[in-house]
Chains A and B, each alone.
Chain A
């Protein structure tokens, strides 16, 4: 089912309102359906949006400090935030405000006092559109054979995750893995079974990495990469071991016989420097590649961490 693309994550809604009672009632309406976070000022909201992935913003028009219009205008000039739908929610009954909000790029406009079903339905419509857009985009970023994210997706994701880790000074874990003796497998069982093998490896990897933000990519051929945000080396090694173990014990049924493959994995984790350069990532990547090579030369079916 294509819904599986996003089934791990609930959408996150940011409510920006300076009235505690409104924050409380809106949170109560939405908390069963979405991950809800709140901000009381426009400035706080901008800061939260820079640090966290937000799928939709409910924005009060009248706020202390920056107004809702100013917050929206700021979001719309940034490449990273301009696609986030913003719904104004306000006591203003002024059509001019509504027109101005929509002209600035707001997605919708809800008047206070609101009633639950109206807020829910308006948000549901926007969220449904976001989900569908994400699925459409995912088709261009998916490997047709294995269903894993493709190389193009990796190129985008690593830039985003590296920047986020550098900004928040968090660990970024990465695994590179390769199916052992894959050429021999293909020669023995044929290329069609080789495809089945790659699909099995990708499926097991996806089922093993449980957190919503963890990402599995097919790098090319029989090579795969996993990005593990906010994961120090010990955690990344533990995930790698789990993937290795799960693949080694998953049989493929070929011509009445259970066939098993193993994989070798190189692992590293880094807190990228705040002012990272391309060379820093290349260095990180090379260290993991060397660790993978070491796992191969040390006998395969094993995990090796990069040397510091």
Chain B
């Protein structure tokens, strides 16, 4: 039986196993789009405007950081939340990710319930922001985001 999905999530990782695991964790609640390639991720983000992107940092050709920077410099995609998937090899990577505009990060190897919690939290955040903007619009008020 199909259920109403709470949002659309793009998952970007060059390891098929990781894509499969994350898809399994989230597929019941969200529409999932997956890709193994950074260039494709930028294209899919522009075409689909997902609510959230889970983005691996270390990938061939274009790194997760470069994908993040590209998304954040594009008006169309700059407000999409991004959770970085890091190798757990140092907090400097995570700090760099935050500085580049990431909302949160997940460290490999990850625990499914933690991934689910982080994703649910950000999607709730997105839903609340939408509701707020709708209310502000109805009330003829400005909203700073």
Contact = CB atoms under 8 A, between A and B. Distances in A.
Contacts of B136: 2
Contact of B129 (A2, A117, A132): A132
B98 A118 contact: yes
B114 interface: yes
A115 B98 CA distance: 12
Given A99-B113, A115-B92, 11 more contacts: A1-B141, A2-B142, A3-B144, A102-B113, A103-B113, A114-B91, A121-B98, A129-B124, A129-B125, A136-B131, A136-B132
Contacts of B94: 118
A139 B140 CA distance: 13
Contacts, number: 57
Given A1-B141, A2-B136, A132-B129, A115 B91 contact: yes
Contacts of B141: 1-2
Nearest to B111: A95
Contacts of A21: none
Contact of B135 (A99, A114, A139): A139
B125 A125 contact: yes
A117 B98 contact: yes
Contacts of B143: 1-2
A3 B125 CA distance: 17
Nearest to B131: A136
Q: Interface size for chain A: under 10, 10 to 19, 20 to 34, or 35 or more residues? A: 20 to 34
Interface of A: 1-3, 95, 98-99, 102-103, 107-109, 114-115, 117-118, 121-122, 125, 128-129, 132-133, 135-136, 139
A133 to B, nearest CB: 6
A99 B91 contact: no
B31 interface: no
Contacts of A135: 132
A96 B117 CA distance: 14
B23 interface: no
B139 A125 contact: no
A290 to B, nearest CB: 37
Interface residues of B, number: 26
Nearest to B142: A1
Interface majority SS (helix, strand, loop, mixed), chain A: helix
20 contacts: A1-B141, A1-B142, A1-B143, A2-B141, A3-B144, A102-B117, A103-B113, A107-B121, A109-B114, A115-B92, A117-B99, A118-B95, A125-B125, A129-B124, A129-B128, A132-B125, A132-B128, A132-B129, A136-B128, A139-B135
B95 A115 contact: yes
A125 B104 contact: yes
B63 interface: no
Contacts of A108: 121
Q: List the 4 closest A-B pairs by CB distance, nearest first.
A: A121-B98, A117-B95, A102-B117, A95-B111
A108 B106 CA distance: 12
Interface string B103-145: 1100000010110010001001100110110011001011110
Contacts of B135: 136, 139
Contacts of B144: 1, 3
A115 B96 CA distance: 11
Contacts of A121: 98
A202 to B, nearest CB: 16
A152 B143 CA distance: 25
B88 to A, nearest CB: 10
A96 B99 CA distance: 29
From A1, A107, A117, A122, residue with most partner B Cβ within 10 Å: A117
A136 B99 CA distance: 29
A135 B129 CA distance: 10
Contacts of A109: 114
